[in-house]
Chains A and B, each alone.
Chain A
């Protein structure tokens, strides 16, 4: 549904997006990750036709966004960063206005407004001026306008930014449900969100894609992926490290913390750790200890995110 080819954007000498390519199909929820200033919003603005790319091509459905913007824009629902809305209008007036520009009139328009008001829980503020809404309601109002025409493609720039935990949970659920039938792309810097919602994630840093895969695949790039975490009671750290270092396929053992007479230790695998092999080896080596817990770790997304994006941003910070 969305096809982005070699997309670039420069603002004067500043290259905000540099040769980004990817596709999103119906039924996919693509998470767009990256530190602040990575170029997420700029990419989304080019996809939705707000700013023209310096180079490259965006195709939505069958339509080129530059050559044929109106039919392309018809397919898209867009929630811009910071959820802007006409503050002088009421929620109902605003949604009706957007519906009208989306080509809905009369009864169809009323039904469309009614539908999104229910989906986004806006009944209680329907006749309230947007100016007077709390941030959460305002955000949901803008979310409602983005899905008012039941679009096939949904582009959302930080859709959960500024919401409280309950609202975040609701919005994530909504995205996941809609993702079954639509092509969705959303940006975030909350990593748990990616695991909760996305079928695929792209990490972008300084305008370039640095990782692309399912959340599972990305997690496997983590240092801790496949490591075994062991918690034992009443064993000295040094003794533990000594004994675990000898385990087959263990590259290194690190003490995570020692507290209340318990020791947390992580054993990193030498080669790919499959079928819990390392866990069995560690358990065998731990005979006689009071083992409280032992499990193989999946790897952590935030660690992958940091290891991919940190060195780069650190470099750019000192030219």
Chain B
């Protein structure tokens, strides 16, 4: 298939782009240090005495990703626009969708790599106790999907500008809103207003709520569909943005 091979070529190039600079390594090291710090220090992994990662490790992911995923996605389109390679890419015989898919997959795989490198945490908990590894796996799947949703948003904001910093800030804000939708202080406030449909609507967009089911070992199709629709919608919007101001 032609489109598959185009997507693969772009994914390969983009991944190469990550690893040709020290940024990728710095990113992974920061990610691992932060997850380590939050799990063992702030998360009180040892003090809890639980053979589970839910409240010590995974609980931090929605917050950590808030900084790290926009950072990983900000260059995707902004850099192409700034350097002018966008003009090369979009005049090649490929569709905009293939370019978007290729780039998105590359960064998603990169995030997957960072996530996989947290495996020592899993080893540690297995060494100390006997956790339910099925639950841990489900939580990893949820975390990966959530990272994808954040990344698609970063991809969208990256397409809007040639400035990576602007892209970072805008996607950070959007992701923050999605996180806050399910953050107890916010939900409590909304409950006090006593407008049930508003509470339900806002809660439906909550990244945390959807992610929590995964961390409890529940893989519900509704939660999977939620993350996939955020990805789908954001990537679709990315396409619209790229088509509408290609010249900028």
Chain A residues near B (Cβ < 8 Å)? 11, 42, 45, 48-52, 70-71, 73-74, 76, 78, 80-82, 84-89, 93, 97-98, 100-103, 105, 129, 142, 145
Contacts and interface: CB of A to CB of B under 8 A. Distances in A.
Given A51-B247, A78-B88, A89 B20 contact: yes
B13 A48 contact: no
B21 A74 contact: no
A48 B91 CA distance: 6
B94 interface: yes
Interface string B175-203: 00000000000000000000000000000
A89 B13 contact: yes
Nearest to A11: B247
- Across the A-B interface, give the 4 residue pairs with the lowest CB-CB distance, nearest first: A84-B84, A100-B9, A73-B93, A88-B20
B16 interface: yes
Given A11-B247, A80-B87, A89-B16, A73 B92 contact: yes
A82 B91 contact: no
A102 B92 contact: yes
B13 A103 contact: no
A316 B20 CA distance: 48
A88 B5 contact: no
B129 interface: no
A84 B247 CA distance: 15
Contact of A97 (B5, B13, B93, B247): B13
B12 to A, nearest CB: 8
B90 interface: yes
Interface string B230-244: 000000000000000
19 contacts: A51-B247, A70-B93, A70-B95, A78-B88, A80-B84, A80-B88, A80-B91, A85-B85, A85-B88, A88-B16, A89-B13, A93-B16, A98-B88, A98-B92, A101-B6, A101-B10, A101-B92, A102-B93, A105-B5
B87 A87 contact: no
Contact of B13 (A45, A73, A86): A86
A84 B12 CA distance: 19
Given A88-B16, A97-B9, A101-B6, A50 B95 contact: no
B83 A87 contact: yes
Interface in B51-92: 83-85, 87-88, 90-92
A28 to B, nearest CB: 21
A93 B247 CA distance: 27
B17 interface: yes
Nearest to A47: B91
A135 to B, nearest CB: 14
Given A80-B84, A84-B84, A84-B85, A50 B20 contact: no
Contacts of A93: 16
B17 A101 contact: no
B105 to A, nearest CB: 15
A86 B85 contact: yes
Contacts of B90: 49-50
Nearest to A146: B88
Given A50-B246, A71-B93, A88-B20, 15 more contacts: A45-B87, A50-B87, A50-B91, A73-B93, A78-B87, A78-B91, A84-B85, A84-B87, A85-B85, A85-B88, A86-B17, A97-B12, A100-B5, A101-B9, A145-B88
